[in-house]
Amino acid sequence: VAPGRRCDMVLQDLASGETVKISEDRGALARGCRLDLDGLARTCALVLSSLPHCDLVLLNKFGKTEAEGGGFRCIISDAIGLETPVVIGMPRRNLEAWRAFAGEFGAEVEASAFTVLQAA
């Protein structure tokens, strides 16, 4: 992140509309973003409280935190337990960690902007 630019990461629980900032405010001269683990935990609790009422869980990605064993893993596993489908973006660098986590419950679909727009 260039000096003077902010690095704001905000998640929204679509069920409630509530938003939670999940990036640390490191000041105007900070280089790069840092995840606020407390904000991420608040978001997880919010989503988990809505989960029994969801028909679908849509998560932006299985990121570094999830690949390392944290983050939204609890949401994914609870959704699977409730037989609620989960759609999640997957950076290629985390694909092996995803496969190890999801096992037989994961189905991979190659997505491009074109195929996503066609499906809409």
Q: What is the DSSP string of 46-98?
A: HHHHHGGG-S-EEES---HHHHTT-TTHHHHHHHHHTT--EEE---GGGHHHH
Residue 2 confidence (pLDDT) above 70: no
Q: What single-letter amino acid sits at 56?
A: L
Instruction: Give Cα 91 distance to the centre of its chain.
Output: 11
Domain ranges of the chain: 1-53, 55-120
Nearest to 58 by CA among 26, 12, 115: 12
Mean pLDDT of 76-86: 95
Q: Provide the percentage of residues in the chain whose pLDDT is more than 90.
A: 53
Residues 8, 35 contacting (CB under 8 angstroms)? no
Q: Which pLDDT value is given to residue 6? A: 64
Full-model pTM: 0.78
Most confident segment among 12-16, 19-23, 26-30: 19-23
Query: Bridge partners of 20?
Result: 11
36-75 pLDDT tens trace: 899 999 999 999 999 999 999 999 899 999 999 999 999 9
**CA distance readout (Å), 80 to 9, 13, 34, 50, 74:** 26, 18, 29, 14, 10
Count how many residues are written for the chain.
120
Task: pLDDT band for 30, please (50, 70, 90 cuts).
Answer: confident
